């Protein structure tokens, strides 16, 4: 039970680090994971995505505290408790983030994490499948990485109608939002390969576990063992027995935006007064641990479809059985896609320099968790602002590792949140009202055409906004002399030797879009820092920025 490197968490970043730290055979790696196997159709079949995040077998089952600005609702806050972590229970949407997101990180003290610095890692980690070939836009995409990224078949005419409607509304079209230009409407990308979910476990961890120098240990991490301000191992609860996994070189925490700060606090690293309340001896008083919690919220704008071409016809038991059989025996059919095959990133108004609204488009009217479907043919857009100013916190419920942390996002706590969300709802209606949707559009299902005023839209948001499941920021990366930073730009925990954190918790600010891609990139880049390697050479590619962003939220007409 000892290795050179001990990684807590077999998720997106942890799997990537396990593979990279062990690939030259010099060092041994132990990965600690509380969850079990990812085997089985609920995880591996892309169309079954609503199941694993609602199964206690695969999900930690966390919920937020009552959110004061959302009618005191408790929102679901799923995180993967399984090999592959949240990459095994997520929606399989692949987004890198906008170049300016990472430039902002660097400006906030994460030196070496600008877009020029991270693009080479995004390229190293992926094999991009586009238009029947590999690589896509020249120079921007990876061609031989372990993470396979594809586009769905997009055969349903509603996908092309959505993209064309965005063009008609003046927002423009992007050929590849993960290439030089994020802004616009286009095809969505998926971490799916040969008809099955391509999680970080499939891409990184399972190949790494075939090496003699990598092993997986199942157990609940109770705390990091720290001696003389140096991390020397991890204390585990293995089926009621307390054991210690020793690290000869370093301990790396990659346990999620909820569990990484929780484990630091249980280990004596965090806000001193809060640790004292739970009888925990303070090793390093870091007020930033657990703070800076961020997420993306979204609402579903649903429209009736007057042609019987949507997923509604596939929700009966017989159709589900056929889809399941096609997937199981042939890896073909609707089961091979997450059904999110068109997307958009747009700017909410003139003066916003880069996109701040994201759309996921779905040819069906159904909740992400699968719990409620409109009783008719329909289509929907998940829409929400990207850069909310609201910040929350993760704190300890007790000094016991088995107790869930207290998760409080403080969603919608700024007037700017409400203004941006109202705009997102109205833009979605405008897009759905374009000529491209004329052959398909029936009545508005949700919110309903009677919801029009600011107050009515606010009421709809308060009642119906859901998390997009993109929590981050709770162990913020920054300068070593920043009292609110938790890790430095090499992912080292400030104030403790031999300990790092590398996952979405270190993001200074949430990136545009879904976080699985940036989380894996974080693991890739952190591995080079841990090994003391010179980082990959920065890219000199220039991302596209709308030249008219000061004057308009659209493209200037020719």
| 523-553 confidence digits (pLDDT tens) | 999 999 999 999 999 999 999 999 999 999 9
Show which residues are catalytic.
470
Nearest Cα neighbor of 174 from 342, 349, 387 is 342
Dihedral (Cα; 33, 34, 40, 43), 10-degree rounding? -80
pLDDT digits (tens, 9 = 90+) for 246-273: 999 999 999 999 999 999 999 999 999 9
Q: Which is nearest to 203 in space by CA: 88, 68, 115, 109?
A: 88
For residue 13, say whether it is annotated as part of any ligand binding site: yes
Please state, in angstroms and rounded to a whole number, the distance separating the CA atoms of residues 544 and 539: 14
Question: What's the DSSP call for residue 203?
Answer: I
354 labeled binding residue = no
End-to-end alpha-carbon separation of the chain, Å? 66
* Cβ neighbours of 525 (radius 10 Å): 28
**Is 337 annotated among the ligand-binding residues?**
no
Tell me what percent of the chain is helix, strand and coil, each rounded to the nearest 5. 30, 25, 45
Give the separation between CA 329 and CA 311, rounded to whole angstroms.
21
Asked if residue 23 belongs to a known ligand binding site, the reply is yes
Contact between residue 19 and residue 263 where contact means Cβ atoms under 8 Å apart: no
Q: Alpha-carbon distance 300 to 463, whole Å?
A: 12
Give pLDDT, residue 557. 64
The rounded distance, in Å, linking the Cα atoms of 251 and 258 is 18
Cα separation, 466 vs 121, whole angstroms: 31
Q: Is 217 annotated as a binding residue?
A: no
Any known ligand binding at 200? no
Encoded tokens for 310? 């949507």
21 known ligand binder: yes
Q: For residue 189, list its beta bridge partners.
A: 151
The SS3 call for residue 484 is coil
CA nearest neighbour of 376 among 305, 449, 450: 305
pLDDT of 78 reads 97
Residue 375 exposed, middle or buried by CB count within 10 Å (0-12, 13-18, 19+): exposed
Angle between helices 454-464 and 415-432 in degrees, nearest 10: 100
Q: Annotated binding residue at 28?
A: yes
3-state class (DSSP) for residue 274: helix
Nearest Cα neighbor of 285 from 262, 260, 265, 256 is: 265
What Rg do the C-alpha atoms of the chain give, in angstroms?
23
Q: Which of 425, 428, 524 is nearest to 125 (CA)?
A: 524
C-alpha closest to that of 473 among 224, 108, 169: 108
DSSP state of 477: B
Return the structure tokens found at 422.
Answer: 């109202």
Q: Is 10 marked as a binding-site residue?
A: yes
16 assigned ligand-binding residue: yes
Residues of the chain with pLDDT under 70: 368-371, 557-558
How far is it, in rounded angstroms, from Cα 90 to Cα 49? 7
Question: Which tokens sit at 9?
Answer: 């968490």
Encode burial over 196-233: b for 16+ CB neighbours within 10 A, e otherwise: bbbbbbbbbbbbbbeeebbbbbbbbbbbbbbeeeebbb
Q: Is 17 annotated as a binding residue?
A: yes
pTM, 2 dp: 0.98
The predicted pLDDT at position 558 comes to 43
User: Is residue 92 reached through a cis peptide bond, with omega within 30 degrees of 0 on the bond before it?
Assistant: no
Report the alpha-carbon distance of residue 35 to residue 39 in Å, rounded.
12
Does the annotation place 14 within a ligand binding site?
A: yes
Which residues share a beta bridge with 441? 305
What is the C-alpha separation between 399 and 374, in angstroms, rounded? 44
264 is an annotated ligand-binding site residue: no
Q: Is 26 assigned to a binding site?
A: yes
DSSP per-residue string spanning 286-340: -TTTT-SBB--EEEEEEEEESSS-SGGGG-SHHHHHHHHHHHHHHS-SGGGS-S-
Q: Are 179 and 168 in contact (CB under 8 A)?
A: no
Tell me the C-alpha distance between 68 and 287, whole Å. Answer: 24
**Closest by Cα among 472, 454, 470, 471 to 462:** 454
Distance CA(479)–CA(107), nearest Å, equals 10
Tokens of 482: 């920043």
**Which residues are CB-neighbours of 275 under 8 A, at least 6 positions away?**
265, 268, 281, 282, 396
Cα separation, 32 vs 470, in Å, equals 23
Assess contact for 17 and 212: CB atoms under 8 A. Answer: no
Is-contact 457 261, C-beta < 8 A? no
pLDDT at 370: 67
**pLDDT for 354-394, tens place per residue?**
999 999 999 999 876 666 778 899 999 999 999 999 999 99
Q: How many CB atoms lie within 10 A of CB 509?
A: 19
Q: Annotation-wise, does 548 bind a ligand?
A: no
- How far apart CA 204 and CA 254 sit, in angstroms, is 15
């Amino acid at each position: 039970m000892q290795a050179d490197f001990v990684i807590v968490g077999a998720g997106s970043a942890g799997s990537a680090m396990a593979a990279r730290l062990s690939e030259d055979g010099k060092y041994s790696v132990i990965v600690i994971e509380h969850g079990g196997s990812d085997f089985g159709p609920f995880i591996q079949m892309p169309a079954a995505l609503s199941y694993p995040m609602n199964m206690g077998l695969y999900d930690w089952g966390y919920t937020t505290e009552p959110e004061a600005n959302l009618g005191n609702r408790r929102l679901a806050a799923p995180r993967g408790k399984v090999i592959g972590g949240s990459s095994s229970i997520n929606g399989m949407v692949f987004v890198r983030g906008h170049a300016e997101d990472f430039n902002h990180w660097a400006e906030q003290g994460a030196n070496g994490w600008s877009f020029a610095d991270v693009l080479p890692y995004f390229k190293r980690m992926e094999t991009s499948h586009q238009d029947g070939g590999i690589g896509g836009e020249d120079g921007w995409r990876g061609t031989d990485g372990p993470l396979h990224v594809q586009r769905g078949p997009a055969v349903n005419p509603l996908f092309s109608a959505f993209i064309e409607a965005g063009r008609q509304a003046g927002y423009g079209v992007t050929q590849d939002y993960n290439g030089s230009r994020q802004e616009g409407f286009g095809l969505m990308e998926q971490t799916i390969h040969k008809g099955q979910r391509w999680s970080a476990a499939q891409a990184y961890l399972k190949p790494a576990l075939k090496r003699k120098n990598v092993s997986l240990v199942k157990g609940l991490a109770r705390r990091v063992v720290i001696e003389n301000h140096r991390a020397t191992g991890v204390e585990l609860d293995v089926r009621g027995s307390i054991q210690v996994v020793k690290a000869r070189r370093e301990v790396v925490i990659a346990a999620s935006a909820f569990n990484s700060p929780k484990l630091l606090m249980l280990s004596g690293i965090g806000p001193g007064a809060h640790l004292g309340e739970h009888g925990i001896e303070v090793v390093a008083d870091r007020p930033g641990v657990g703070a800076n919690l961020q997420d993306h919220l979204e609402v579903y704008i649903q429209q009736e479809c007057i042609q019987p071409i949507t997923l509604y016809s596939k929700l009966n038991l017989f159709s589900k059985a056929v889809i399941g059989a096609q997937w199981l025996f042939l890896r073909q059919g609707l089961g091979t896609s997450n059904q999110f095959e068109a997307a958009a990133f747009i700017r909410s108004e003139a003066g916003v320099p880069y996109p701040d609204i994201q759309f996921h488009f779905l040819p069906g009217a159904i909740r992400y968790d699968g719990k409620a479907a409109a009783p008719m043919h329909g289509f929907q857009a998940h829409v929400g602002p990207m850069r909310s100013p609201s910040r929350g916190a993760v704190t300890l419920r007790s000094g016991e590792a088995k107790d869930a942390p207290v998760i409080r996002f403080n969603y919608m706590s700024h007037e700017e949140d409400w203004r941006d969300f109202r705009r997102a709802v109205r833009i979605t209606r405008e897009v759905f009202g374009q000529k491209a949707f004329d052959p398909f559009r029936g009545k508005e299902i949700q919110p309903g055409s009677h919801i029009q005023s600011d107050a009515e839209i606010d009421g709809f948001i308060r009642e119906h906004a859901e998390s997009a499941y993109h929590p981050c920021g709770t162990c913020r990366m920054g300068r070593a002399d920043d009292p609110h930073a938790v890790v430095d730009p090499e992912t080292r925990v400030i104030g403790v030797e031999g300990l790092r954190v590398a996952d979405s918790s270190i993001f200074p600010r949430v990136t545009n879009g879904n976080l699985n891609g940036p989380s894996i990139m974080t693991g890739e880049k952190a591995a080079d820092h841990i090994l003391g390697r010179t980082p990959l050479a920065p890219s000199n590619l220039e991302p596209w920025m709308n030249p008219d962003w000061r004057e308009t939220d659209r493209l200037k007409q020719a």
